[in-house]
């Protein structure tokens, strides 16, 4: 089966992939810099993209410079760990959003500070579970419970936080 994607859909997928790559490089200790967070990564030729990605992977360790997407300062301003509570919300002041809870949390319904185009990478760094409901402004594949080191990747449309993927680690 073939799926036809629009330029906007391809652009969104590329932006998510670049964001995930920058997050992983940042977590691995690389310095990451956002050149212009107001612009998307523009893909005009796929072969040029492949060459750029290959060059970035082969390059020796050092600063990683990326332009584009809504990264809220990845690498430079990773959000401090946020303690969440039952029926509370997640306040996204960065793209990488580490979460913890004093006790198990059964349901979170909203994310605040989630502007159109923002990408949020949530990770439960604590030992208590954090339940995120598929209601309110959270548009998920179903209710999700994040155990320790489980992750949830969201894309914001300006109103809703929409699930891109999640992992159970």
What tens digit of pLDDT does each residue of 55-64 get?
A: 444 443 444 4
Residue 126 has pLDDT above 90, yes or no: yes
- Tokens 């990564």: give the residue: 41
Whole-structure pTM value: 0.58
Task: List the CATH code of the domain at 82-167.
Answer: 2.60.120
pLDDT higher than threshold 70 for residue 134: yes
Residue range 69-115, pLDDT digits in tens? 444 444 435 788 999 999 889 998 888 889 999 999 999 988 988 88
Rounded to whole angstroms, the Cα distance separating 121 from 39 reads 20
Other beta carbons within 10 Å of 151: 16
What is the average pLDDT score of the chain? 74
pLDDT at position 169 is 85
Sign of CA dihedral 149, 169, 150, 166: positive
Beta carbons of 137 and 161 less than 8 angstroms apart: yes
């Amino acid at each position: 089966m073939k799926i036809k994607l629009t330029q906007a859909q391809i652009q969104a997928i590329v932006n998510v992939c670049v964001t995930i790559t920058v997050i992983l490089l940042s977590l691995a200790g690389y310095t990451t810099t956002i050149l212009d967070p107001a612009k998307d990564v523009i893909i005009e030729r796929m072969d040029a993209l492949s060459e750029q990605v290959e060059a970035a992977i082969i390059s020796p360790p050092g600063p990683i410079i990326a332009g584009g997407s809504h990264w809220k300062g990845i690498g430079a301003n990773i959000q401090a760990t946020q303690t969440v509570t039952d029926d509370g919300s997640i306040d996204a002041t960065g793209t990488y959003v580490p979460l913890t809870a004093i006790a198990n949390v059964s349901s979170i319904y909203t994310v605040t500070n989630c502007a159109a185009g923002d990408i949020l990478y949530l990770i439960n760094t604590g030992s208590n579970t954090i339940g995120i409901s598929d209601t309110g402004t959270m548009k998920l594949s179903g209710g999700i419970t994040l155990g320790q080191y489980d992750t949830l990747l969201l894309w914001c449309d300006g109103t809703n936080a929409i699930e891109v993927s999640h992992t159970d680690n």
